[in-house]
Amino acid sequence: MMENISLFMFPVMILVVFSGFPVVFCLMGISLFFGIVSFGPEILPMIIRRVYGVADNYVLAAVPLFIFMGTMLERSGIAKILFETISMWTGRIKNGLAITTIIMCTIIAACTGIIGAAEVMVGVMAMPPMLKRNYRHSLIAGTIIAGGALGTIIPPSVVTVVYGPAAGISVGRLLISTILPGLLISSIYVLYILVRSYGQRGFAPPDFSEDLDIPLSRKIKATVTGMLPSIALIFTVMGTIILGYAAPTEAAALGAFGSVLLTIGYGNLTLKVLQEATIQTLKISSMMMMILVGGFMFSGVFLGLGGSDATERMLSALNMGPWAVIAFFLFVVYLAGFLLDWASILLIFVPIFSPIIEKLGFDPIWFGTLILMTIQTSYLTPPMAPGIFYLKGIAPPEVTTREMFQGIVPYMMLQLAAIAIVALFPQIALWLPEKMIGWN
């Protein structure tokens, strides 16, 4: 009986979310209601233990550290320096600024680990020169939104750090597993821009004279001063994890310290900058931790009511094969992305899906990579695409919402193709963790 009751938690949650209540209070309230109705006051100690488990989880200490690293880099001036440096090398390529945007978003994502940070940082830098050079508005919007979404999958992603404890798997292995899929998506985006630029007449604007007359010595100097520090920070964070020298939390601390050094190096560290970065970190971290608590409460009550067994029986009744179950789970996560933020999605669905996936014989690291890629796709998908709302906040009036929708559709299709590739060839996600030193 209680197992069937658990299945009502999801439609109730959707109704309450649509009513306008904040997601975190929906999760907490529904958890308490169903828990007390089913178990009585005895449910309260269990919920308290779940909440304490969040506060006591050492891995989750990486979340505020990564957030601090991202907020410091926003104020370090690194976005402008990177954009100018990369655009020097891509100036002779058709639609070179669009390629610059993707490359820059990839690097920023690898430096910050925060969804949306790359989109805002890069959008402010890339949009004015692209408009000046008469780029298609749809290409501008689609490229910036798609590039900004790379922060979901490219490590060190905060999403990955949260996913690991929710699924009960190694955060380090999951971070490493997302490196090649993240680079695959970035490469597909660049290839798409190149193919359309050289294959479709009128897709690329005429060459801009300022992009063609940059001496090689200036390019090399800009690369050394503008790109190498960022690459050093990426190696500091991911290199120590890959080589087994540091756990994700320790690597996050190194990254946070490195971001301060970069800000000092670029001459932008002031008391005001440090204060703003710290306050922003506290705000974002507090919000995320509240969602984590609500999500763990929800999944704890759901599993306590036997929701996992009920879900398995429902799938058995539908007579779905293992691969159909994978597709169904990914589709559920994709649809949930229209209503919920990524943290709520992970903490509601991942604890339910993960045990079933392991029983079916699939690798949980590979499945986790697919989930992260699916969340990234929902970030791009109209009409609810969060990436569009980020861009609207910084875009000039001449770039319309319709053009944003038009621009994002090709990238959404490319994203779905990348998910299919990783699904069919699991070693794209699994090969690197298996080969890295320190991870057996």
CB atoms inside a 10 Å sphere around CB 268 = 14
The torsion of the CA quartet 418, 419, 420, 426, rounded to 10 degrees, works out to 100
Number of domains composing the chain: 1
Confidence check: pLDDT of 179 > 50: yes
Query: How does residue 211 score in pLDDT terms, banded at 50, 70 and 90?
Result: low
440 within some domain: no
Q: Which tens digit of pLDDT belongs to each residue from 221-246?
A: 777 877 788 788 888 888 887 777 88
Of the given ranges (58-62, 113-117, 196-200, 201-205), which has the lowest mean pLDDT? 113-117
**Cα 153 → chain centroid:** 5
DSSP 182-237: HHHHHHHHHHHHHHHHHHSTTSSPPPPGGGT---HHHHHHHHHHHTHHHHHHHIII
256 within some domain: yes
Please provide the average confidence, as pLDDT, over all residues in the chain.
82
Q: What is the pLDDT of residue 2?
A: 57
Q: Which helix (H) or strand (E) holds 299?
A: helix 271-304
Q: Which tens digit of pLDDT belongs to each residue from 308-327?
A: 777 777 777 777 888 999 99
Q: What is the pLDDT of residue 438?
A: 47
Confidence check: pLDDT of 213 > 70: no
Residue 114 belongs to domain spanning: 2-435
Q: What is the pLDDT of residue 439?
A: 44
Of the given ranges (17-21, 42-46, 80-84, 133-137), which has the lowest mean pLDDT? 17-21
Q: Which tens digit of pLDDT belongs to each residue from 329-364?
A: 999 888 887 767 777 788 788 888 888 898 888 999
| 206 CB-near residues (< 8 Å, 6+ apart) | 134
Q: What SS3 class is residue 356?
A: helix
Confidence check: pLDDT of 116 > 70: no
